[in-house]
């Protein structure tokens, strides 16, 4: 059986950042990766996908962005390339093409079953992330067989879909981006909108990420956030490179907006009539965030040097949203942009609460020596973002070193 002191599972940005942190602390380790660095960015996302955060925000520990386009948004493929380069630069000991199938606790640490044979380790870091599997509502089973159903990890581009109208379910980052691209390709898109997070791409002359960064919002600690379990379930913001993808912008392109998909009945999809409560709630929350930014700017030495507040227009629903849609005729495709979930089924240990959610305290699991990275608000608001890896891996690598010292002293 192969052995390493530490095993990191997943060579995405978080796993690689942890590899660098462990190398700095001289902790012998390997990184097990089912594909290569940045596998999901290459193989499980659509062709046109670009990063939601500007290039300057996507630096990794020891490798800040140094290219010429600090303020633009690199493609997912370019980001995967940068991860590959990063892995080489930091000499990360990545074992590619190794799929972990089971993790168990042993007397002297952990046993990691893989499709390439077992490994053992004293400590394990799960860096497989929060977006491993697409989440699809149970009612998808009742969609008529003539309609193509596709999740966002399998969707590639408009041309790969059958001709005809498309129902996109979900209006977070993935849903609004795909709805925009399909509508621009000449199709009629109907977008079913549930709870969503609206933010402008730019505010007061700067990228929204700049403000979230400098005002300290992205660095808020998990313990400072009210109703943490709800905050951890907030979906990704309606952002897309430099283009506006809020509901006003999508309607201007011709996308038809309707409420949350709530049932299928008699060959029809039924939508909630409560959409307006969700859009006004999203506007309120957006304005609350923008107010925090305004307050921060107002407290600065020379607030006058910053562009005046340019609050986005309130969301306007052009026509009364439809309440039902015939699942036949011109509708040929349903895109499920209903979110992703982590996959922790392979961790065969008592780690989960009654609802099946992984229990952890800032990434420290209730089984000693086991850590998790990259989950929403793991330790800070930015934990699941690219920029969250630096501080989280720093903190947890200290904990790992102490754990290993304690193991050896025992």
Partner 1 sequence: MTLNTETSQKNGVNVQALLDARAALEAAPDAAQFTWRAACEWIDGVHSRSTIEGFFGLGEEQSHRQGFSIDADHPPQFAAEDMGPTPVEIVLSALASCLTAGVASVAENRGIKLRSVRAMLEGDMDIAGILGIDADVRNGFKAVRVTFDIDADASSEDIAALVAQAQKRSAVFDILTNPTAVQVTVV
Q: Kindly tell me which residue out of 43, 104, 281, 328 binds partner 1, with binding defined by CB under 8 A.
A: 281
Report the C-alpha gap between 127 and 372 in whole angstroms.
Answer: 6
Helix 13-24 × helix 76-89 angle, to 10°: 20
Measured over the CA atoms of residue 221, residue 227, residue 230 and residue 236, the dihedral's sign is negative
- Say if residues 220 and 380 touch (Cβ distance below 8 Å): yes
347 to 386: interface string for partner 1, x by CB under 8 A: -------x--------------------------------
DSSP code, position 44? S
Q: How far is the CB of 403 from partner 1 (least distance, A)?
A: 30
Q: Which stretch binds partner 1 (CB under 8 A): 115-123, 141-149, 233-241, 281-289?
A: 281-289
Cβ nearer to partner 1, comparing 207 with 246: 246
Q: Which helix (DSSP H) or strand (DSSP E) does residue 362 occupy?
A: none
274 binds partner 1 (CB under 8 A): yes
Q: Which stretch binds partner 1 (CB under 8 A): 71-79, 231-239, 263-271, 340-348?
A: 263-271
Cβ nearer to partner 1, comparing 194 with 363: 194
162 binds partner 1 (CB under 8 A): no
Q: Kindly tell me which residue out of 259, 362, 374, 388 binds partner 1, with binding defined by CB under 8 A.
A: 259
Report the C-alpha gap between 52 and 278 in whole angstroms.
Answer: 23
Q: Kindly tell me which residue out of 270, 286, 335, 364 binds partner 1, with binding defined by CB under 8 A.
A: 270
Q: How far is the CB of 355 from partner 1 (least distance, A)?
A: 9
272 binds partner 1 (CB under 8 A): yes
Report the C-alpha gap between 373 and 360 in whole angstroms.
Answer: 10
Q: Which stretch binds partner 1 (CB under 8 A): 106-114, 141-149, 237-245, 282-290?
A: 282-290
Q: How far is the CB of 272 from partner 1 (least distance, A)?
A: 5
Q: How far is the CB of 105 from partner 1 (least distance, A)?
A: 26
Report the C-alpha gap between 190 and 179 in whole angstroms.
Answer: 8
Report the C-alpha gap between 172 and 381 in whole angstroms.
Answer: 18
Q: Who's near 257: CB < 8 A, 6+ residues apart?
A: 191, 193, 247, 250, 251, 275, 317, 318, 321
Measured over the CA atoms of residue 350, residue 353, residue 356 and residue 359, the dihedral's sign is negative
Q: Which stretch binds partner 1 (CB under 8 A): 14-22, 198-206, 280-288, 327-335?
A: 280-288
Report the C-alpha gap between 408 and 369 in whole angstroms.
Answer: 13
Cβ nearer to partner 1, comparing 93 with 273: 273
Cβ nearer to partner 1, comparing 22 with 278: 278
Cβ nearer to partner 1, comparing 278 with 400: 278
Report the C-alpha gap between 285 and 223 in whole angstroms.
Answer: 20
Q: Kindly tell me which residue out of 263, 298, 300, 406 binds partner 1, with binding defined by CB under 8 A.
A: 263
Q: Which of 133, 196, 192 is nearest to 327 (CA)?
A: 192
Cβ nearer to partner 1, comparing 106 with 310: 310
Question: How many CB atoms are closer than 10 A to CB 260?
Answer: 19
Q: Which stretch binds partner 1 (CB under 8 A): 46-54, 61-69, 265-273, 402-410?
A: 265-273
Q: Residue 287: is it exposed, middle or buried by C-beta count within 10 angstroms (0-12/13-18/19+)?
A: middle
Residues that bind partner 1 in the complex, under the rule CB under 8 A: 259-260, 262-263, 265, 270, 272-274, 277, 280-281, 284, 287-288, 320, 354
């Amino acid at each position: 059986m192969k052995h390493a002191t530490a095993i990191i599972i997943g060579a995405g940005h978080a796993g690689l950042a942890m590899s660098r942190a462990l190398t700095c602390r001289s902790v012998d380790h390997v990184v097990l990766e089912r594909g290569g660095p940045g596998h999901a960015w290459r193989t499980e996302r659509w062709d046109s996908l670009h990063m939601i955060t500007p290039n300057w925000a996507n630096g990794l520990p020891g490798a800040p962005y140094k290219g010429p386009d600090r303020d633009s948004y690199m493609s997912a493929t370019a980001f995967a390339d940068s991860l590959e380069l990063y892995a080489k630069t930091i000499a990360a000991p990545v074992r590619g093409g190794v799929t972990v199938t089971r993790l168990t606790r042993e007397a002297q640490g952990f046993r990691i079953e893989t499709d390439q044979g077992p490994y053992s380790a004293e400590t394990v870091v799960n860096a497989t992330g929060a977006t491993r599997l697409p989440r699809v509502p149970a009612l998808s089973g009742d969609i008529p067989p003539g309609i193509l159903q596709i999740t966002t990890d399998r969707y590639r581009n408009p041309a790969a879909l059958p001709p005809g109208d498309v129902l996109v379910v979900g209006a977070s980052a993935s849903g609004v981006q795909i709805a925009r691209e399909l509508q621009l390709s000449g199709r009629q898109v109907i977008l079913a909108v549930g709870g969503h997070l609206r933010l402008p791409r730019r505010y007061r002359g700067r990228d929204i990420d700049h403000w979230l960064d400098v005002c300290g919002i992205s660095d808020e600690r998990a313990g400072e956030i009210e109703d943490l379990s709800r905050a951890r379930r907030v979906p990704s913001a309606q952002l897309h490179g430099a283009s506006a993808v809020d509901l006003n912008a999508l309607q201007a392109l011709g996308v038809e907006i309707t409420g949350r998909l709530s049932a299928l009945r008699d060959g029809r999809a039924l939508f909630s009539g409560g959409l307006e409560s969700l859009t006004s709630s999203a506007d309120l929350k957006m304005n609350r965030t923008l107010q925090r930014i305004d307050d921060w700017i107002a407290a600065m030495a020379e607030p006058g040097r910053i562009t005046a507040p340019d609050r986005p227009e309130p969301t306007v629903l052009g026509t009364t949203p439809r309440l039902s849609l015939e699942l036949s005729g011109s509708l040929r495709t349903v895109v499920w942009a209903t979110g992703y979930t982590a996959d922790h089924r392979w961790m065969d240990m008592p780690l989960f609460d009654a609802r099946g959610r992984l229990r952890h305290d800032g990434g420290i699991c209730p089984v000693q020596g086991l850590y998790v990275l990259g989950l929403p608000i793991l330790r800070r608001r930015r934990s699941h973002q690219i920029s969250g890896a630096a501080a989280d891996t720093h903190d947890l690598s200290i904990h790992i070193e102490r754990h290993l010292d304690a193991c050896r002293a025992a």
